[in-house]
Amino acid sequence: MKNNDTAGDGPAGPARPKAGRAAAKTNLLQTLDRGIQALQIIAQHANGITIADLASRLDIHRAIVYRLIATLEAHSLVSRTAEGLIYLGGGILVLASRFEPQLRSVAQPMLHDLAKETRATAFISQAQGDECVVIMVAEPEEGLLRVGYRVGSRHPLTLGAAGIAILAGRPEQAGEPEAVRQARRDGFSLTRGQLQRGAVGVASPLHSSGQLHRAFGACIGVVAMDDLDTQTAIAAVKAAAQRLSALMQS
């Protein structure tokens, strides 16, 4: 008889799924899937999370969570304090540093095209803790008034089109701002003057098939002064987000 920790890890037997989603689940390695879900949950708790709370969120026995965390800790993907709180580990940064050059090689040409089409500064931003950080930028060729949005610029996730778009790309949370809910429904966020007077920003979340990527979050967008053609920008940003998301999943 299989226990709860290993069920689903072996080859799937004959199955008659009722829907495509059910069929996909039969191909998952359950323990690996749980480990990725655990990382996603831990990433959402900046102040750490306990084994008990993590077991409750995953809806599995605490003993299984202990084994998951021990395995993740052995690979430096999580760390535990003396008080028993679990945080993401330094190994996550190593993985992220190896992913960014791949992202840059496919995204930079796309950003240049987006900047040219919208005549605005195009960017990719990523969540780092509770902040939104710009990691890539492309400027338009025309000599228009430009917003001071540079690589390394950061601001709270709850402000600006980029931060709101990143939050909208995450699973729905209780008590989240209406702007995030609206962006999730629309597929984009539009803000005016939240970070700089006269600045207009449009951003769409980047989606990935990986749970961990969704936990950190990233977005693509544009920012300009009041003369931004928002309808053109919305269409162009959403299309760019779809293309880049597809490339990230390939």
Alpha helices, H only, the chain: 20-25, 30-43, 51-58, 62-74, 91-118, 160-168, 178-186, 211-216, 230-249
pLDDT at 141: 80
Question: Residue ranges per domain, the chain?
Answer: 20-89, 92-249
CA distance 32 to 176: 29
Cβ(80)–Cβ(86) under 8 Å?
Answer: yes
**Which CATH architecture best describes the domain 20-89?**
Orthogonal Bundle (1.10)
Angle at 247 (CA atoms; ends 203, 234), nearest 5 degrees: 25
Return per-residue pLDDT of the chain as tens, 250 residues.
444 443 334 333 334 444 444 444 455 688 888 988 898 899 888 789 999 999 999 999 999 999 999 999 999 899 889 889 999 887 876 776 666 676 677 788 999 999 999 999 999 998 877 889 898 999 988 755 566 678 888 889 899 999 999 999 988 888 889 999 999 999 999 999 888 888 999 999 988 654 444 445 889 999 998 788 999 999 999 999 999 888 766 5
- Structure pTM? 0.63
Q: Which residues contact 172 (CB under 8 A, 6 or more apart)?
A: 181, 184
Superfamily of chain region 92-249: GAF domain (3.30.450.40)
Written as one letter, the residue type at 124 is I
